Chains A and B, each alone.
Chain A
Amino acid sequence: MSSESNRKIYSFTRLYVLPLPAEALSTLSGFGVAVDTGKVIFLNSLKVNIICSVFLNLLVMGRKIKIILAVIVLTVVSCKDDKVEDPIPEIKYVRLTMQPVFGSSELSLNDTITTAEGYKVQFTDLKCYFSSLKNGSNELTQSALFDYASRGIEVFKVPGDPAKFASLTGFLGVDPNYNHDDPSAFPNNSPLNIMNANDMHWDWNPGYIFIKVEAKVDTNPDAITVLDHFVNFHIGTDQFLQNLSFSGLNWSDNGSGVYTAPLRLDLEKFLQNGAQIIDLKTEYTSHTMSGQELLSEKVIQNFATAISVY
């Protein structure tokens, strides 16, 4: 070992004795302290320790030995890296969508459609709550809010194994077990939290609005379109809760662990559910108030029937 080499080692190792800021020490994990002997003794990381020791000693060794040792050490370290990787289990998400349609055509808000009666209709808002969705004992989600204007067709996306949810049961509306709870007390990410419910909650304890259908209508079947007739259906309260059941859900793999199953909401069927017809000229508003029970029931029954697997 020459005196020149000794000096090199000495100054190099002393450099690491300097008081480094905490941030630097954490960044240089394993490089914190070295000593005059040329051996690194700070053992935060075994791998780093080996590398430092070898390179410090290489400075004073013969050229051939240097190369052989370097190759051996690097090979061992590389092999170790490959060996320690464990596979990360994939987290699966199930995502339910609901596409509004009118008959066979997909429907966007403010599209103008013509009903069987010849009325021209623009739907301006479509929202609804689903709750207590599960398949037997496999619970999927407490609640979900469909809000076509703000969130598009996505009803929910939650962690879950699609294999367990080929069928789903639940409610259209909010389960009475929590329909009347304090809307501010739900977790921030819950669709039932008042900040997410927004205008889907009545604040005098009847609870949540289960479905909201708003539209503008021209009830004069002529060539001129004047949409000056407003439709407002805001249906809620426990008595109008509807059971839902879907089978044969097809969860398609969208990649990244996300599996999507589509529903559709057929607004043609909503207006004409067999013999149960909603005539928008005369049946255009219900806020589930006293005296509006018959229309409220028809509206939410038709809405539930209009939802099916797409």
Chain B
Amino acid sequence: MKYLFFIFVSVVIFLSCKKDKVGFTPTPYELNIPSHFPDMIIPEDNPMTVEGVELGRKLFYEERLSRDNTMSCANCHSPSASFSDPSQFSVGIDGIPGTRNSMALINLGWQNFFFWDGRAKTLEDQILEPIPNPIEMHQEWKDAVAKLNSDKTYRNMFFKAFGQEGIDSLKVSKAIAQFLRTMISGSSKYDVMYKYENSLPLNSIEQSVYASVTAEEWAGYDLFKSLNGADCFHCHNGPLMQVQKFSNNGLDATFIDHGRNGVTGNPADDGKFKVPTLRNIALSGPYMHDGRFNTLEEVIEHYSSGIQMSSTIDPMIEFASQGGVQLDAFEKDLLKKFLQTLTDYDFITNPDFQDPD
């Protein structure tokens, strides 16, 4: 009996010591949110930690998440293209192209829905899709998890991030979501213009940026938010440079891709797609849900003269019946110059967002 007791005590002490040695001491991650941005609401079941972000970053660039170990998230969300794909349609590991253009990953912590049709309500849900998708990374989650589980580095990183042994798809999506939430863009020239327009204080660096804004860029901004100009502001405004809604922006009179309607089944949603941010728009072409436009000039021309009427067209496109807002060449050039102020070079070159390996 006494021996049994000693054995029991020894086992308990041993187990306790082991747990203390590995340790789970997550370090809260402090997001660097620009002063003119709203708070980012973090899901209660996925708090931001340094360990989680580090793991998520590694996973974002992890090619073993694809079946043939050739494709990571970064393949379709390239840092050099503002974390989007410069191809019209991304091509999966089996050589099959998708049907929609890869969206730029910017300020995702403030989005209310994900994908062009908004079928994912959370960032964590969105991340679960591309890996098993047959036309993308085409790998069952159990196989992806098995690969990660065979790697001691990952086993340790997952334990440090979540305090539990074992890897699963939910932990993978949570870690990547944490990393993506750190990808905040809020230091473009436009941000200084926005703060000035809203009487928000500018620091010394912003003062110098403000001084560098050209008359043409200001004129382009005026056109951008003018009803009788380019009339862009109904869908693109605020610090995020977008409103959270779905819109039919007059690309087609009839629809091959039914967009939001495919999710809701509501005929009123036919041909509607998520309004994207215009941040880094000069870097994230091609444009529209199907990547049909290669250049900003083509996009501007669409809103100027190429609007197609349909029953679900966004009523905010007030000159739709005339084909668009009818800008002249000078105005188009001004508008393009303003759109280029949305480029955030600090964002695309931020070393914290690059491949850690």
Binding stretch for chain B, among A133-141, A170-178, A192-200: A192-200
| Cβ-based interface call for B16 (8 A) | yes
Out of A11, A18, A289, which one reaches B12, CB within 8 Å? A18
| Cβ-based interface call for A92 (8 A) | no
B238 near A194 with CB under 8 A, answer yes
A198 near B16 with CB under 8 A, answer no
B97 to chain A, nearest CB (A): 34
Instruction: List chain B residues, Cβ under 8 A from A195.
Output: 38, 41, 110
Bound-state Cα–Cα, A40 to B355, Å? 59
A202-B38 in contact given A110-B268, A289-B227 (Cβ < 8 Å): no
Q: Which residues of A line the B interface, CB within 8 A?
A: 11, 14, 18-19, 21, 110, 124, 180, 182-184, 188, 193-195, 198-199, 201-205, 214-216, 227-228, 230-232, 285, 287, 289
A203-B227 in contact given A184-B36, A216-B315 (Cβ < 8 Å): no
Out of B13, B199, B227, B318, which one reaches A19, CB within 8 Å? B13
A232 near B36 with CB under 8 A, answer no
**Which residue, of B9, B225, B237, has the highest number of chain A Cβ atoms within 10 A?**
B237
Within 184-226 of B, Cβ neighbours of A (below 8 Å) are at 194, 197-200, 225
Instruction: List chain B residues, Cβ under 8 A from A203.
Output: 194, 197-198, 233, 237-239
A285 to chain B, nearest CB (A): 6
A21-B16 in contact given A198-B244, A230-B315 (Cβ < 8 Å): yes
Return 30 A-B CB contacts under 8 Å, by A number: A18-B9, A18-B12, A19-B13, A180-B199, A182-B36, A182-B198, A184-B38, A184-B239, A188-B39, A188-B41, A193-B38, A195-B41, A195-B110, A198-B243, A198-B244, A198-B245, A199-B237, A199-B245, A201-B237, A201-B238, A203-B198, A203-B237, A203-B238, A204-B198, A205-B197, A205-B199, A216-B315, A230-B315, A230-B320, A289-B227
B315 near A188 with CB under 8 A, answer no
Out of A215, A227, A287, which one reaches B227, CB within 8 Å? A287
Q: Which residues of B line the A interface, CB within 8 A?
A: 1, 5, 8-9, 12-13, 16, 36-39, 41, 110, 194, 197-200, 225, 227, 233-235, 237-239, 243-245, 268, 309, 311, 315-316, 318, 320-321
Bound-state Cα–Cα, A182 to B41, Å? 18
A199 near B243 with CB under 8 A, answer yes
Instruction: List chain A residues, Cβ under 8 A from B36.
Output: 182, 184
Interface residue SS majority, chain B: loop
B38 near A232 with CB under 8 A, answer no
Bound-state Cα–Cα, A263 to B1, Å? 77
Bound-state Cα–Cα, A125 to B51, Å? 44
B228 to chain A, nearest CB (A): 8
B41 near A194 with CB under 8 A, answer no
**Which residue, of B38, B197, B243, has the highest number of chain A Cβ atoms within 10 A?**
B38
Bound-state Cα–Cα, A57 to B164, Å? 42
Out of A11, A124, A285, which one reaches B318, CB within 8 Å? A285
Instruction: List chain A residues, Cβ under 8 A from B9.
Output: 18-19
Minimum CB distance partner of A19 in chain B: B12
B198 near A205 with CB under 8 A, answer yes
Bound-state Cα–Cα, A124 to B245, Å? 14
- 7 additional A-B residue pairs with CB within 8 Å, beyond A11-B1, A203-B237: A18-B8, A184-B239, A195-B110, A202-B233, A215-B315, A228-B309, A232-B316
Minimum CB distance partner of B193 in chain A: A204
A98 to chain B, nearest CB (A): 21
Instruction: List chain A residues, Cβ under 8 A from B321.
Output: 228
A-B complex: 4 closest residue pairs judged by Cβ atoms: A230-B315, A199-B243, A184-B38, A204-B197
Instruction: List chain A residues, Cβ under 8 A from B38.
Output: 183-184, 188, 193-195
Instruction: List chain B residues, Cβ under 8 A from A201.
Output: 237-238
B187 to chain A, nearest CB (A): 15
Bound-state Cα–Cα, A21 to B238, Å? 51
B37 near A184 with CB under 8 A, answer yes
Bound-state Cα–Cα, A199 to B242, Å? 9
Minimum CB distance partner of B9 in chain A: A18
A183 near B238 with CB under 8 A, answer yes
